[in-house]
Amino acid sequence: MTLDDSMSLVDIHSHLVPGVDDGARHVPGVLNAIERMTHAGIRRVVTTPHIDASLVLTPERLEARLDGVTQAWEQARSAIREEFPEVEYLRGHEVLIDIPEPDLSDSRLRLTGTSFVLIEWPRLQVPPGTPRVVRHICDQGYRPIIAHPERYAGMMHKTELPHQWKEAGARLQVNYGSLAGRYGSEAQAVAWRILGLGLADYLASDFHGQSRLKIYKKETWAELEERGGQEALDLLFRVNPARVLEDVEPLPVPAVSAPSPLLQRLRGMIVRRERSMERQG
């Protein structure tokens, strides 16, 4: 598959509901972000604003939060239908697991109402006992997808943790930008290690919509092609994310060899220089 064949790509992690979190601020910003995603070949977008799992303990606060997101999402959906009718704009949440036994029974918390739920740990730190939390979620009948496992503090040295999460029933979603060096050399190395072990199930943008930010799809796609990861590329970008929308398990993804550490560092330096120039611009 080439870049020209990527019309059916699916992205399951972004922050493109206007004004509800640290993502896109307003509808014009959402439209700009969607246009850029279409240029990256993405036609099905599951946007996932942040929400705290602990809100379920206070039903009125949960309802207020979900209602606010719904109103903003519907505004954006209407504008997207007008400007980009080819784009399917769907909704889920990125659920911050700030309590040990989260209640995820409200379908609005999950990805398009399926059994899949995108989760993250607080403050990019991994608290103790996360495999047990994953098992609890699975025992409730839901399928947790851990967002950006490569970005949590200390993951370079927690080599067994991704295996433990998978064994407990989690699926793993790596960010495009991590493989390109967007979040630093440690996250980049861990992301490639996860792919190299065949533990990744999905790639996603985690795009926050700001005009100066890159999506990093093109860079990641090219790197995987260069490394002979054609089958993995198709599964990570297209097949497995689409299977989330069908509420079915991801297919196994073959391992992809990582670039040399020197090459990773060089590319990471280029990405960080680009980011610095974007901020200055």
Q: Where are the domains of the chain?
A: 3-280
State the pTM of this model.
0.92
Alpha carbon distance 143, 1 (integer Å):
29
User: Cα–chain-centroid distance for residue 132?
Assistant: 22
- Tokens read off for 132: 């047990």
Closest CA to 156 of 186, 128, 124: 186
- Work out whether strand 50-52 and strand 116-120 pair parallel, antiparallel, or are unpaired: unpaired
Integer Cα distance of 17 and 20 in angstroms = 6
Which tokens go with 62?
């949960």
CA-based angle 69:77:112, to the nearest 5?
65
Residue 11: phi, psi to the nearest 5? -115, 125
- Lookup result for tokens 């390109």: 180
pLDDT tens per residue across all 281 residues of the chain: 333 444 589 999 999 999 999 999 999 999 999 999 999 999 999 999 999 999 999 999 999 999 999 999 999 999 999 999 999 999 999 999 999 999 999 999 999 999 999 999 999 999 999 999 999 999 999 999 999 999 999 999 999 999 999 999 999 999 999 999 999 999 999 999 999 999 999 999 999 999 888 999 999 999 999 888 899 999 999 999 999 999 999 999 999 988 766 666 666 666 666 666 555 55
Q: What burial class does residue 66 get, using C-beta atoms within 10 Å of its C-beta: 0-12 exposed, 13-18 middle, 19+ buried?
A: middle
Q: Are strands 94-96 and 88-91 parallel, antiparallel or unpaired?
A: unpaired
Can you tell me the distance from the alpha carbon of 49 to that of 61, in angstroms, rounded to the nearest whole number?
16
Q: Are 174 and 150 in contact (CB under 8 A)?
A: yes
CATH architecture of structural domain 3-280: Alpha-Beta Barrel (3.20)
